[in-house]
Each structure stands twice: as C-alpha cells, then as structure tokens.
Amino acid sequence: MKNLYTLFAIVVAVAALSSCTTRYYAPGLYQNDVQFMIKPHSKDSVKTRIYASGTYLAQSGANGQGSSGSGMLNVYQSRTIPHFNFSYGVMGYTGVYSVSELNTSGTNAQNVIVNKTFSGYGFNGSTSFYLSTKKTDFRIIGVDLSYTHEGGDYLAFRKAQVGQPNVRSAAQPQLFSYGIFTEFIVRPNDATNFGFKFFTNHTAGNIARDLRRTDGLYNWSGTGTYGFTSFVGFNHLNFHTTFALASSNSILAGSSQIGVAYKF
C-alpha cells in the first residue's frame, strides 16, 4: 500500500509539472466578449433608443494563466414592441494581455513573460421575449450574439506560438459567441429603472480544440461561461456590472465588466 501511495504521488507531481510548463494563449476577449445591451422598458414613452456604452473588461487567461484588461465602446439601437425586444450594434475595443511569474531569486518581484496589446472591432445583437406588469418586465428567454475580429501584437504572437513545444495557442482572430439569458427589470418611475440578468454563453469554432490539454488528465476544454449582470439607470445614464465564471481545461477562470451607457 505504501508503494501505491508513492506511485500516486509521483503521478500527481508529474501531472502538475506538465500543467505548469505548458503555456496556453487565447484571444484577448476569450470568454468575455458578449456585452450587456440595454432595452427600453415596455412602459417607456420612447420605445426605440440609441445607446453608447463604454465598458472596462478584465478576465483570466486560458487555463487560468495570465490576464487581460481592455476597454470597449459599443454603439447600438434597441427597440421594444409588444412582448419582444431587439438590439443590434457595433463594437470597438483595445487592451493588453500579460503573463508574469515570481522570479527565481527568492524575492516577491514579478518577471513579465508576455505583455502584448490587442485591438479589434465587432458586431453584436440581442433579442428577448417578455411579459410585463405595470412596473416590471420579465424577459423570460433571450438570445445574445457576438462577433469580434482581433488584430495587434498579441494576435501575431499567438500565431508565432502555434506548433511550439509545450504551447497551446489559438491563432484565429475572430470569436463568435452566442448565449441565452433571463432578465428582470423594474421601472419604479419615469426616470429610474434597475434589474438583473442571468446568462450562459458559449464560444463556437475550433478554439476548444486548439486549447485542449495534451497531458491526458483532463483532455477537454470547455467554452461555456455562466454569470449575471446587475444594472441601474437614471434619466439618460445606465450603470452595469457583470461577473462570470468560465471553465478552461477544468480550471475555473473569472471575468468581469463594469460600464456606463448613455441613451439618446
């Protein structure tokens, strides 16, 4: 039995070492590309609005390695008709992906391994079916869509890493994600509204294959994201925060967004 425990300990140590020495690189907005889109309340006097939102996005990198921070501008139109909402718009973003680790000199200083910029554009849309009361809209089921196309130093870096030893790199510039959500919004008066949104998103394409682990322990890479958004609006301004968890090679990674939107 003692020999069995020793063998098990060796296998775990080798697996951990293998996981640590393999680098994973995903697009800058991976698992954080779907944006919150405001829709007029069914009791609003104006049922069609144009919105401009500025959002800061932060997330862990693939397999929990590194992190990225970016800023995004999203301009879109939203329309509410009896029992349905629609939104469609364009996006532009820029950010930085970085990886650092403790140096080997015994101090707590960080060695920066990767520090690359990225930027891009995209298109997004959202629609939902709702039921309403005098002050509330319950958007029972909705669908989000997001397409982004990335460029910059980080994309060039990922392309150069494809095929390198101990590296799993997703070199595609585009991301296409879709999701479903449930949303609840309260309108206590003409100037104020607040609510919550619960969602799950999925990124399509070969990115799960490109980021798959090769050590055989968890030979799977999830592309699902689960989270919630809270928002509050007053007159022409709306503030929102989003928190989500995603799985990459059975390792949980977090993402967040904080933004403000102006309605015209």
**For tokens 């309605």, what's the residue?**
263
Give the pLDDT confidence of 129-154 residue by residue, as tens digits: 999 999 999 999 999 999 999 999 99
Cα–Cα dist 199/229, whole Å: 8
Predicted TM-score of the model (pTM): 0.85
pLDDT value of residue 258: 98
Q: How many CB atoms lie within 10 A of CB 16?
A: 12
Instruction: Say if residues 243 and 231 touch (Cβ distance below 8 Å).
Output: no
pLDDT value of residue 63: 84
What b/e sequence results for 116-140 when a residue is b if at least 16 CB atoms lie within 10 Å of its CB, and e otherwise? bbbbbebebbbbbebebeeebbebe
Give the pLDDT confidence of 210-255 residue by residue, as tens digits: 888 766 555 555 668 999 999 999 999 999 999 999 876 667 789 9
163: left (phi over 0), alpha (psi -120 to 50) or beta: left
Instruction: Say if residues 261 and 249 touch (Cβ distance below 8 Å).
Output: no
Return averaged pLDDT per consecutive 10 residues of the chain, 264 residues in all. Answer: 39 39 91 96 96 97 91 98 98 95 55 88 98 96 98 96 91 96 96 97 88 63 84 97 83 90 97
**Please, what is the Cα angle at 31 between 101 and 179, to 5 degrees?**
165
Token couple for 152 = 């910059």
- Measured CA distances, 84 to 55, 130, 192 (Å): 26, 6, 21
